[in-house]
């Protein structure tokens, strides 16, 4: 695969119940502008259905990534092979496609990975032609095991200004094995935009971390801050694509334009890494 460095993350269109017409416009204009990586999951409410409907005849213009393990909803993990294969079949129907480019185990535990049969289910899906490649999406020691076990083609993991564990723990190892690396939550949910601690728990850790990290450029113009954040993630050696989530049709092009400046200069990149090393607490693990 030759992936566009700016991908699309499909959780928000599902969880925030974005309308089908808006999703069609969002994906249509982004595909026109060069998007070719679309990531979603079995549990992001109607995200798969919205994407399948929006793509229609344009399915072959992009790589479709989805995940399995929570077909009854996030937090209700189900890792038996039969359940995983049923979930993948359902994803094929919902995405209106006869193959996935990538199927990922959706953040199962290290113990589940070690047991091995969830991975075997993905291998079976690949053998059946339901998916071209198989991957693990997750963080920490489980992600490290996923890389080192040698059975996955890709790793999807959190990489951002506010989440740098993977930069040392897993991404270099994945790179050495020539795996595809997908940066999830690549903008740290732009958590710095909230003046007060957000009520939504999903944003709280990054908000608290960013307060402590206090990067000076986050106090500047909003677009320049987003540009530095995204260029940082994409400057990490070994990261191939950043799947930014959005609900807005104009965002993909806006972010693509911000990336026109290319990788961050080495000095700027190192300053952000140094600040992290100085401030990050040992508890600041990769956030699922
Ligand atoms: N365990 C897992 O496998 C897992 C976990 C989390 C995420 N993911 C994947 O990673 C994807 C991305 O994660 P995410 O959506 O949580 O985090 P993210 O991409 O870091 O942040 C998305 C947020 O950034 C905002 N944003 C984007 N561009 C912006 C800009 N130029 N200016 C201001 N705000 C901007 C979006 O708001 P607007 O709507 O206003 O654009 C959205 O609220 C998900 O969609 C999903 O595919 C996977």
What are the pLDDT digits (tens) for 135-158?
A: 999 999 999 999 999 999 999 999
Percent of the chain with pLDDT over 70: 100
User: Could you tell me the distance, in angstroms and rounded to a whole number, from the CA of residue 202 to the centre of ligand 1?
Assistant: 11
For the segment 121-130, the average pLDDT, to the nearest whole number, is 98
pLDDT at res. 75: 84
Q: Give the CA distances from residue 133 to residues 63, 106, 114, 199, in Å, rounded to whole numbers and listed in that order.
A: 11, 14, 20, 37
User: Could you tell me the distance, in angstroms and rounded to a whole number, from the CA of residue 244 to the centre of ligand 1?
Assistant: 5
pLDDT at res. 249: 97
Lowest mean per-residue pLDDT among 27-36, 72-81, 202-211: 72-81
Mean pLDDT of the chain: 97
Residue 132: other Cβ atoms inside 10 A: 15
Which residue lies with its CA nearest to atom 24 of ligand 1?
189
Determine contact, residues 200/11, Cβ cutoff 8 Å.
no
Q: Which two tokens stand for residue 179?
A: 């795996």
User: Could you tell me the distance, in angstroms and rounded to a whole number, from the CA of residue 194 to the centre of ligand 1?
Assistant: 15
Residue 271 has, within 13 A of its CA and on its CB side, a CA count of 11
Question: Could you read off the pLDDT of 249-280 as tens digits, one per residue?
Answer: 999 999 999 999 999 999 999 999 999 999 99
Which residue lies with its CA nearest to atom 34 of ligand 1?
190
Which residue lies with its CA nearest to atom 27 of ligand 1?
246
Pocket of ligand 1 (CB under 6 A): 9-12, 39, 67, 106-107, 137-138, 156, 184-190, 226, 243-248, 251, 254-255, 288
Element housing 146 (H / E)? helix 140-148
Closest CA to 175 of 82, 240, 89: 240
Closest CA to 30 of 245, 185, 191, 229: 245
Question: Could you read off the pLDDT of 32-75 as tens digits, one per residue?
Answer: 999 999 999 999 999 999 999 999 999 999 999 999 999 999 98
Question: Could you read off the pLDDT of 96-112 as tens digits, one per residue?
Answer: 999 999 999 999 999 99
pLDDT at res. 90: 98
């Amino acid at each position: 695969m030759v992936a566009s460095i700016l991908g699309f993350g499909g959780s928000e269109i599902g969880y925030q119940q974005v309308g089908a017409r808006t999703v069609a416009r969002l994906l249509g204009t982004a595909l026109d502008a060069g998007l070719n990586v679309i990531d979603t999951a079995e549990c992001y409410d109607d995200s798969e259905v919205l994407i399948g409907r929006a793509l229609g005849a344009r399915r072959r213009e992009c790589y479709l990534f989805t995940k399995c393990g929570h077909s009854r909803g996030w937090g209700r993990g189900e890792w038996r092979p039969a359940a995983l294969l049923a979930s993948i079949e359902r994803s094929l129907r919902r995405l209106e496609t006869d193959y996935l480019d990538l199927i990922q185990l959706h953040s199962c535990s290290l113990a589940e990975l070690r047991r091995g049969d969830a991975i075997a289910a993905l291998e079976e899906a690949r053998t059946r032609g339901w998916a071209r490649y198989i991957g693990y999406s997750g963080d920490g020691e489980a992600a490290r095991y996923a890389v080192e076990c040698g059975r996955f083609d890709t790793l999807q993991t959190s990489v951002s200004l506010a989440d740098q564990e993977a930069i040392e723990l897993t991404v270099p190892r994945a790179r050495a094995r020539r795996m595809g690396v997908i940066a999830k939550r690549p903008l740290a949910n732009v958590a710095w935009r909230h003046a007060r601690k957000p009520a939504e728990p999903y944003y709280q850790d990054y908000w608290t971390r960013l307060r402590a990290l206090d990067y000076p450029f986050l106090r500047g113009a909003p677009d320049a801050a987003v540009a530095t954040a995204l260029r940082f993630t994409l400057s990490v050696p070994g990261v191939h694509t950043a799947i930014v989530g959005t609900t807005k049709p104009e965002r993909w092009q806006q972010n693509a334009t911000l990336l026109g400046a290319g990788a961050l200069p080495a000095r700027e990149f190192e300053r952000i890494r140094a600040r992290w090393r100085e401030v990050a607490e040992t508890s600041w693990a990769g956030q699922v």
